[in-house]
Amino acid sequence: MEAYGGYLVDEKAVRVESIFVDFLKNFRIAGGGGEAYYEAEIEAMAANESSTMFIDFSHVMVFNNLLQKAISDEFLRFEPYLKNACKTFVTQLRPNFISDDTNKDINVAFFNLPVSKRLRELTTAEIGKLVSVKGVVTRTSEVRPELLHGTFKCLECGGVIKNVEQQFKYTEPTICVNATCSNRARWALLRQESKFADWQRVRMQETSKEIPAGSLPRSLDVIIRHEIVEKARAGDTVIFTGTVVVIPDIMALASPGDRAEWTGLAGMRQRDLIEWYVRQQDEKNAYSSKEEAEREVTIISAIIEVRVPLPCTRNWLITREGHLIVLDDGSQAAEGEGEGEGGGQGEGEGVGQPSKKSRKERILTVNPNYVID
């Protein structure tokens, strides 16, 4: 790619677009009377008021092997250029087809691929490629309008920004194109100049013959647009042709800007807690029992001290005993501190817990200002 006029030009994609226009103009079927095959497709589109051109992929394979390889391997990359090639082809043969609606696009839809994959064969290696997958429709959503490319008006300077592609959510311009305007937040959508399309979600799953023994059927969500909506019904066995994409976390993108989140312990997730616990255990196991005791004393000495006016204290200084009990957590009970005098359990103390006397002695070693009545 090269930068030209402030934009990146994908030279390979431009060549693919040019070859695809030649294919639409010149492809003919043997014995078809010499007429260009896809000129008749335009007439069918006009009669049905359709904006989608259906392309038989076997025709592309016969016409140019390099073209079919480029489309099948990098369909997601070349799709905008293929749509532009179809629009160019339609405009040259039927100018009034586009002039009636200057904001109209011509979409491209391929069918009749040589290989149809099973649902379990779709992996990350198929992302961005043109693939066909066979399955049974189990559920369909209602048809909804979808904003594809938005035109926005800056509410600060009145400038207009066109063709803002939507990235899986309602996407506004990042900044105004006016050099003297720094607006990043105040925008108004111009609906009449924006591009919308029909949108539907279809849930498909494996056919009964493709499910391995002892396994549950796998499912896949398919997004269909334009004239293809409402074509598939629940229970139909269909072959979908399209590309595999990765959908981001929609909830994280629901609002513009950085998402407000909890911080501290409330903001920790299960994964964070597990990592924290494992790290703490690794650090704890790295010390011997003597080193651990010295380390505990150092930690206890660093506890924040608070001044509390109590009559049973000297100089009104006391260290919070609650923190000491948490840090002690009964680990010394195994070493005999939990036993009372004479080898028995201390009065009121449970099994495996340090006695009250041992806790007081531990506190005295840390803060001599603590007074025991």
pLDDT tens by residue, 59-90: 999 888 899 899 999 898 898 899 999 988 88
Q: Does the reported pTM lie above 0.75?
A: no
CA atoms within 13 A on the CB side of 166: 17
Alpha carbon distance 164, 342 (integer Å): 82
Contact yes or no for 76/16 (Cβ under 8 A): no
Predicted confidence at residue 26, as pLDDT, reads 86
Task: Give CB contacts under 8 A, 24+ apart, made by 318-323.
Answer: 318/367, 318/369, 318/370, 319/363, 319/366, 319/367, 319/370, 321/359, 321/363
Alpha carbon distance 308, 313 (integer Å): 9
Output the six-digit token pair for 162: 């066109």
Q: Which residues of the chain have pLDDT under 50?
A: 1-6, 258-273, 304-308, 310, 313-349, 351, 356-357, 359-373
Q: Mean pLDDT score of the chain, rounded to an integer?
A: 73
Q: Which of 128, 98, 130 has its CA nearest to residue 117? A: 130
| 3-state helix vs strand vs coil in the chain, percent to 5 | 40, 20, 40
Structural domains of the chain in order of their starting residue, each with its CATH number: 2-114 (3.30.1640.10), 134-253 (2.40.50), 272-366 (no CATH)
Predicted confidence at residue 243, as pLDDT, reads 87
Output the six-digit token pair for 98: 């586009």
Q: What are phi and psi of 95, to 5 degrees?
A: -60, -35
SS3 203: strand
Question: Helix crossing, 75-93 with 65-73: angle to 10°?
Answer: 120
